[in-house]
Chains A and B, each alone.
Chain A
Amino acid sequence: QVQLVESGGGVVQPGESLRLSCVASGFTLRRNGMHWVRQAPGKGLEWVAFIRYDGSNEYYADSVKGRFTISRDISKNTLYLQMNSLRIEDTAVYYCAKDRGGIAAAGHFDSWGQGTLVTVSS
């Protein structure tokens, strides 16, 4: 069955960088768009980024545009989120999520990982 496992979270200082990984199993990233969604402690959900099934386009929330980069390695069936210039307000649990539409981007998420916590603190 579909499984998503995130890793790479941790504690960093403002201005530092971090790369999150999400290993997918039970399906191939080659035929599925993927998203990152985050949730600050005690707060609601915020969509962060999306990469199309073929890697041809990436989309970002305004809050992370220019600082975060979504990418994937098909050979490893792994999704990444490179986070640079981290800010205190980036503190959150980061989830990777599978787009329900496959190669046709649906924009909603039918499978989620367990999340990885990123804490930005001085």
Chain B
Amino acid sequence: DIQMTQSPSTLSASVGDRVTMTCRASQNIITWLAWYQQKPGKAPKLLIYKASSLESGVPSRFSGSGSGTEFTLTISSLQPDDFATYYCQQYNGYLYTFGQGTKLEIK
């Protein structure tokens, strides 16, 4: 199985900051990677698919990059609504796996 490792586990930042979080795959997944945002008690929300494609309706301050085994999610200017947990997910084949999450906290 492909293992996904996210870093950091927790990220403290302020409104207006630019933040980047990382997701590493245990083997080459080309660009078969998605990013989700989850708030407490809510279902996850798709932000990015195919590593860098922005899902419809998602603000342009979110961007994704990377290929192979290393990927990043960047938020260009943090807004109050962005404080949440972020998960990456690989979909190379039919066994899908998530990273353990990065919790974005208010500094």
Contacts and interface: CB of A to CB of B under 8 A. Distances in A.
Contacts of B38: 45
B44 A45 contact: yes
Interface string A62-75: 10000000000000
B97 interface: yes
Contact of A110 (B46, B98, B100): B46
Interface string A82-120: 000000000000010000100001111110111100000
A27 interface: no
22 contacts: A45-B38, A45-B44, A45-B89, A45-B98, A47-B89, A47-B95, A47-B98, A50-B94, A59-B94, A61-B95, A62-B1, A62-B95, A100-B46, A100-B49, A107-B94, A107-B96, A108-B34, A109-B34, A109-B36, A109-B46, A110-B55, A112-B44
Given A47-B95, A112-B44, 8 more contacts: A44-B100, A45-B38, A45-B98, A47-B98, A107-B94, A108-B34, A108-B89, A112-B45
Interface of B: 1, 32, 34, 36, 38, 43-46, 49, 55, 87, 89, 91-92, 94-101
